[in-house]
Amino acid sequence: MDELAPKLDDAATYRIGDDLYGLSVHELDARILAYEDEIERLKSELDKKNREKHAADALFSKKPT
């Protein structure tokens, strides 16, 4: 086995749309957990951006909110 090749359990190597045929149940579970963690991270960032936008809109709005 090539030591430089990415490991299947390495979440950094996962790509949406990858072929899943050769993956084990363990590998699929690992990917699901990694994607769920990433979804939570994205949702958190989205919430942060929405709060920042709302604050900026309120600050620069001509109408009181």
Q: Which domain holds residue 32?
A: 11-60
What is the value of pTM for the model shown? 0.69
Which of 2, 59, 25, 27 lies closest to 11 in space, CA to CA?
27
**pLDDT tens-digit map of 3-57:** 544 455 577 889 999 999 999 999 999 999 999 999 999 999 999 999 999 999 9
Residue 4 lies in a domain: no
Q: How many domains does the chain have?
A: 1
Residue 54 lies in a domain: yes
SS (H, E, C) the chain: CCCCCCCCCCHHHCCCCCCCCCCCHHHHHHHHHHHHHHHHHHHHHHHHHHHHHHHHHHHHCCCCC
Residue 5 lies in a domain: no
Residue 48 lies in a domain: yes
Residue 45 lies in a domain: yes
**Does residue 35 contact residue 14 with C-beta atoms inside 8 Å?**
yes
Residue 24 lies in a domain: yes
Residue 1 lies in a domain: no
